[in-house]
Amino acid sequence: MNKSSLKRKEFLHAMHLRQVQNVLVDGGYSGVNFQLDVASNLNATVQVAKRNELHRFEVMPQRWVVERSFSWLENCRRLWKNCERQLTTSLQMVVLAFLALLLKRF
């Protein structure tokens, strides 16, 4: 295991992602390499919510969860453009945006 992957694992464990069992993703993350990385780093499976191929309206199972999450993130002005220098900063902004959404509900 190289140094960068060890740092990544430590970072994920620090974020309490050990509890994740299934990762629901958009069709853009359907590659085998991504699935292998998720399996090795999180010990989780990847479930792809694909769009309708026929270009007509049809409710797709679990797709609404992905679309709803993206629409919630679009309300945060700082996430509109990626101006951060480090990937961890962008990740923390997404986490803070979802945290703000959760706190509004209570």
pLDDT recorded at residue 11: 67
Burial class for 55, CB neighbours closer than 10 Å (0-12, 13-18, 19+)? exposed
pLDDT recorded at residue 6: 60
pLDDT recorded at residue 20: 78
pLDDT recorded at residue 57: 60
Which H or E run includes 51?
none
Instruction: Mark the ranges of the chain whose per-residue pLDDT is less than 50.
Output: none
Which H or E run includes 24?
strand 22-26
Question: Distance between CA atoms of 44 and 28, rounded to whole angstroms?
Answer: 18
